Amino acid sequence: MRFLALSGSLRASSTNTALLRAFASEAPTGFAVEVFDAMGDLPPFSPDREADTPDSVLRLAEAVAACDGILIACPEYAHGIPGAFKNALDWLVSRFEIPGKPVMLVHASTRGEHVRAQLREVLSTMSCDLFPGPDFETHLIGRTQANATDILARADMRAEMRAKLDEFARFAARQRQG
Ligand SMILES: Cc1cc2nc3c(=O)[nH]c(=O)nc-3n(C[C@H](O)[C@H](O)[C@H](O)COP(=O)(O)O)c2cc1C
């Protein structure tokens, strides 16, 4: 199974991106988690540009098409979804790749109830198949990326991430079988 990991933060030392990289390094044999590394390259969405879709958007769309499920880790900005991440979702709204795709939210913060609710609303409107939870969460706010990576490398955290990936894989396999 191949999972795609999308970070909602463009920050170089993002704890959300660190969390997704930690999930990638915990992928058991037979699983792969690819962290999409070009979210910052996507231009502002306009329906006028969909006829001549930019290459960076096509890369994202192809990565979505090729995966069996998507992991999203997204910070909360002003009680909402960060603009750059919502922009990425807007590029995918009218395309064929995302509907029906299993999606699991994971959180680098124990706060952020607004962004969690908004992501669920937006992703279900986009016909994604949302993992019913409970969500994986850990509190990394204010940590440097190196510090966050050390915390995520602890045996207890790694076991929790592996268990969550297993749960998500079972969910994605069930959805695929219909
Ligand atoms: C512009 C901005 C607005 C924020 N607004 C909120 C907020 O409304 N609620 C909240 O819990 N955290 C808020 N935060 C804190 C971030 O969600 C938090 O620092 C997050 O862990 C950063 O993720 P990152 O390390 O992946 O970049 C805000 C941070 C920024 C930069």
Number of the ligand 1 atom closest to the C-alpha atom of 16: 26
Count of structural domains within the chain? 1
The predicted pLDDT at position 26 comes to 86
Q: How many angstroms is it from 2 CA to the middle of ligand 1?
A: 29
The predicted pLDDT at position 32 comes to 94
Does residue 69 line the site of ligand 1, with CB under 6 A?
A: no
Coil vs helix vs strand at 130: strand
| Most informative mutation of 13, 21, 76 for ligand 1 (most atoms within 8 A of CB) | 76
CATH of residue 55: 3.40.50.360
70 contacts 3 by C-beta, under 8 angstroms = yes
Q: Please write the tens of the pLDDT for every residue from 3-45.
A: 999 999 999 999 999 999 999 998 888 889 999 999 999 999 9
pTM confidence score: 0.97
Q: Please write the tens of the pLDDT for every residue from 32-41.
A: 999 999 999 9
Q: Whose CA is nearest to atom 4 of ligand 1?
A: 77
The predicted pLDDT at position 176 comes to 76
Alpha-carbon span 144 to 72, nearest angstrom: 20
Q: How many angstroms is it from 77 CA to the middle of ligand 1?
A: 5
- Tell me which residue range forms the domain holding 110: 2-177
Tokens 């098409």 -> residue: 65
Does residue 79 line the site of ligand 1, with CB under 6 A?
A: yes
Where residue 166 falls among pLDDT bands split at 50, 70, 90?
very high
Considering the chain, what percentage of its residues have pLDDT values greater than 70?
A: 99
- The H or E element that residue 32 is part of is strand 32-35
The predicted pLDDT at position 34 comes to 97
What mean pLDDT is predicted for residues 114-133?
97
Task: Report the mean per-residue pLDDT for the chain.
Answer: 95
Helices (H) and strands (E) in the chain, counts: 6, 6
